[in-house]
Amino acid sequence: MTRPVLDPQSAVRLVKLCGMLGSQHDGERAAADLKADQLVRGLGLTWGDLIVPPDTVPLRNDWRRMPKYSNRCRGQLNARDRAFIEAMLHWRGEPTERQQQWLIDIYARLNRGTTLTQAVERVRSDLDRSIPIKQRARKFWAGVVCSRHLAASDVISSDFQRLADESGLTTDLVKLGGSFNGRETVEHLIKWGLRNMNPFGEKDL
């Protein structure tokens, strides 16, 4: 059976629709999102067919980026993978071939087939108000880090700002930030997350 492909004409149309996802108008973004999804599925494709991370990444000189990234997204991993990532964060020397492949598999799973909506909902479960506010703030920031490749930055900012408001994080951060406005603190966390920068002053989270 021949695998469906994205023909040049459909590719041009999809690019235009995706460009509209950065619109400042909610209705226009929603319409473009729906049309783009209909186009992809109408061709017998999935977004995972179109947006696939590399099966391999540079490992010899830069392999330590993967466990750090995976650790920030550890809420999406099972206990065995979390224990492995924790061990690799403190690994000295070069990883074995088996360890390299495990890192690649985890990294690929974290970056494949996830929509922004799904990513936001995963983070929502970590923002329950029974959880200490500092831990919630870190989980929120880590969620932005793990989602920064899923949509345009302004769309991610809007969705995570809405999540912070709905979960009560914005309100509760006023207590943590003292004189700082809760919304400004959320915007700060989102900005640093989109840049993959750590605002907490710790090497690993």
- Domain locations in the chain as residue ranges: 9-50, 65-110, 116-194
Q: Which of 56, 49, 201, 74 is nearest to 146 (CA)?
A: 74
Residue 54 has pLDDT above 70, yes or no: no
pTM, two decimal places: 0.54
Residue-level pLDDT at 168: 92
The per-residue b/e assignment along 27-49, b for 16 or more CB within 10 angstroms, e otherwise, is eebeebbeebeebbeebebebee
Query: Higher confidence at residue 64 or residue 91?
Result: 91
Per this entry, what is the length of the chain? 205
Provide mean pLDDT across the span 11-30: 82
Provide mean pLDDT across the span 153-174: 90
Residue-level pLDDT at 186: 92
> Please, which residues have CB within 8 angstroms of residue 128's CB and are 6 or more apart in sequence?
136, 167
1-5, 20-24, 75-79, 182-186: segment of lowest average pLDDT: 1-5
CA gap 51, 37 in Å, rounded: 13
CA gap 165, 61 in Å, rounded: 41
Band of pLDDT at residue 162, cut at 50, 70 and 90: very high
Provide mean pLDDT across the span 117-145: 88
Query: Higher confidence at residue 40 or residue 55?
Result: 40
Provide mean pLDDT across the span 44-53: 69
Residue-level pLDDT at 55: 43
Residue-level pLDDT at 169: 93
DSSP code per residue over 34-69 = HHHHHHHHHTT--HHHHS---S----TTTTTHHHHH
DSSP state letter for 74 = G
CA gap 59, 70 in Å, rounded: 15
Q: Which of 134, 139, 141 is nearest to 191 (CA)?
A: 141
Q: SS3 of 125, please? A: coil
Residue 195 has pLDDT above 80, yes or no: yes
Band of pLDDT at residue 111, cut at 50, 70 and 90: low
Residue-level pLDDT at 161: 93
Provide mean pLDDT across the span 14-19: 82
Residue-level pLDDT at 201: 67
